[in-house]
Amino acid sequence: MEFLAQNLLNGVSIGSFYALVALGYTMVYGVLRLINFAHGDLFMWGAFLGYTALTAISAAGLSPGPWVFVPVLPGVMIVLALAGVLLERTAYRPLRSAGRLPPLISALGAAFILQALARNLYGASYKTYPSSVSLPGGVRILGDVTMGTTQIVAVLAALLLMSALHVFVHRTRVGTAMRAVSLDHDTARLMGIPVDRVIAGVFLIGPALGGAAGMLVALRYGSFDFTLGWTFGLKAFIAAIVGGIGNIPGAMLGGLILGVVESLGAGYISPQWKDLIAYVLLALILIARPGGLLGERCAERV
Amino acid sequence: MSEPILDIRELHVWYGQIHALKGASLTLGAGEVVALIGGNGAGKSTLLRAISGLIRPREGEILLRGCSLVGLPAHEVVGRGLSHAPEGRKVFTALSVEENLAMGAWVLGGDRTRIDRQRERVFSLFPRLLERRRQLAGTLSGGEQQMLAIGRALMAEPQVLLLDEPSLGLAPILVERIFATVREIHRAGVSILLVEQNARGALALADRAYVLETGRVALSGAAADLLVDERVRKAYLGEG
Ligand SMILES: Nc1ncnc2c1ncn2[C@@H]1O[C@H](COP(=O)(O)OP(=O)(O)OP(=O)(O)O)[C@@H](O)[C@H]1O
Ligand SMILES: [Mg+2]
């Protein structure tokens, strides 16, 4: 029972990070019907930019305690938001009317560029955040089920960001316009909605959340390298598909399910098999519901 | 007739190799209802889409109160006082009725009093929408969706309203309702360009009308005259 609870907890924790990254894929897909392959690498850059900021603070002679996240996390989010808008402007907008394949190739190109940049600037070795930024201790949740304080804070931050996004998308004018644009560009234009600016807004939010996830993942798992975008990011992408790509609650649900299944697979069967188990289950979900759990029921209208 | 509020001159629109509008001209006077009728593929929707800026004409002029709309991005046209309820309703299916109306009021910005007043007007025009205001637009019936499409277009406080086949796919009783509402909107001072396949209903409602055939205006005149015109009766009113 406690073993189950511990695994569920781990699963929710990792799943909330998948979800945070999955949101970026799904929101861009929503407004552009484009798979933004570069999103995983922007997420990876979040981890590296955080690393740079933390090591700079150390180098300046200040011992970076957990408090440094208060300025550094929003800072990294802002830098990535700007990078996201730049990406949209340079790699996607010029190809907006070129059909579906050219933007996809452009996305792959951008992904490779971001990855190569990270490898060349930071090297191929694993990086670790200074241990002084972690919160000490852990919390006993029930019985022997425990969770590190850092983990708890990271998960709460992820959930908080997702709630903020939910409120934004459902309770504000601009958020509602984002949903309208993902349904129908032309009709949104007839309403006076500046569709290009709304799309740019999506490219602000997605990478900002991805960047935050990058830092939180680096903090929780200790070490990372330039392949983080492909390894972790790809799983987040799959989470978005399972939830129903284009659907925001779907991305959150998909992320959580992937995290929980993976964690249960690792706990009850074997850590070596966890990816296989997770992917088989996800394949089964997609066979039963090709549009994803919360996606459109019928095949996509192109 | 006084200075037209909307003046379309010699409009040419191409879709790639397809010459969809071949020099169509049309005017809408302030306070008028003008019907635009014609068969499938005549270019009626193309004309409305060109006016709204969704497609760019290759040649010709579109003047709204004397100012050119050509080249203006589509999202800036509605702010000039012209709303377009597109063919096929195009409500935002995954948004609620209220959210659809809020999107229609986009150009009013955050002006709550104007938005609320406009919403009241729409709800009094279509009480059914008030009952369903929290329902997703995709779950509305076809007639309700049409009401929402018109109501949404009205949210922007337009002086000119373009309606593309509002009666499409509706039962006769509902068609009556929609036409009656169009008349009511007109009485409130909105100038209306009404595209219709239901030529009889549209001509009964309109002051003037144009008949579009393969991208050209084939006939135009007072609606009452066209209603008894031999060619119109044969081609569009289904009479021998
Ligand atoms: N996006 C497009 N690409 C290519 N051709 C188009 C496009 N839209 C319309 N056309 C063509 O332009 C012509 C005019 O179409 P339009 O939709 O304006 O006709 P319509 O009068 O509105 O017809 P209906 O009464 O059936 O709605 C048609 O021949 C149509 O095939
Ligand atoms: Mg049409």
Mean pLDDT for all residues in chain B? 95
Specify the ligand 1 atom closest to the Cα of B42.
Answer: 21
Is B161 within the bounds of a domain? Answer: yes
> What pLDDT score does A302 carry?
32
Task: Give every residue of chain B whose pLDDT is below 50, as ranges.
Answer: none
CB contact under 8 A, A193 and B106: yes
Range of the domain at B85: 6-236
> What pLDDT score does A300 carry?
40
> What pLDDT score does A301 carry?
37
User: Which runs of E-coded beta strand occur in chain A?
Assistant: 127-128, 138-142, 145-148, 223-224
Is B1 within the bounds of a domain? Answer: no
Exposure string of A234-253, with b = 16+ CB inside 10 Å and e = fewer, is: ebbbbbbbbbbbbbbbbbbb
Residue B179's CATH number? 3.40.50.300
Domain ranges for chain A, please list them. 2-288
Task: Give every residue of chain A whose pLDDT is below 50, as ranges.
Answer: 298-302
> What pLDDT score does B2 carry?
66
- The tally of domains found in chain B comes to 1
- pLDDT tens for each residue of B155-201: 999 999 999 999 998 999 999 999 999 999 999 999 999 999 999 99
- Closest by CA to A263, choosing from A127, A138, A155, A150, is A155
Minimal Cα–Cα distance from B116 to chain A, Å? 15
CATH of A2-288, one of 1.10.3470, 1.20.1260, 1.20.272, 1.10.3210: 1.10.3470
**Which ligand sits nearest to residue B49's alpha carbon?**
1
Q: How many CB pairs under 8 A join A and B?
A: 68
> What pLDDT score does B161 carry?
98
Which of B90, B102, B110 shows the shortest C-beta gap to A176?
B102
Exposure string of A167-193, with b = 16+ CB inside 10 Å and e = fewer, is: eebeeeeebbbbbbbbbbbebbbbbbb
Q: How far apart are CA A292 and CA A22, in angstroms?
A: 13
Whether the CB of B169 sits within 6 Å of ligand 1: no
In this prediction the pTM is 0.93
| Closest C-alpha residue for ligand 1 atom 22 | B45
> What pLDDT score does A296 carry?
67
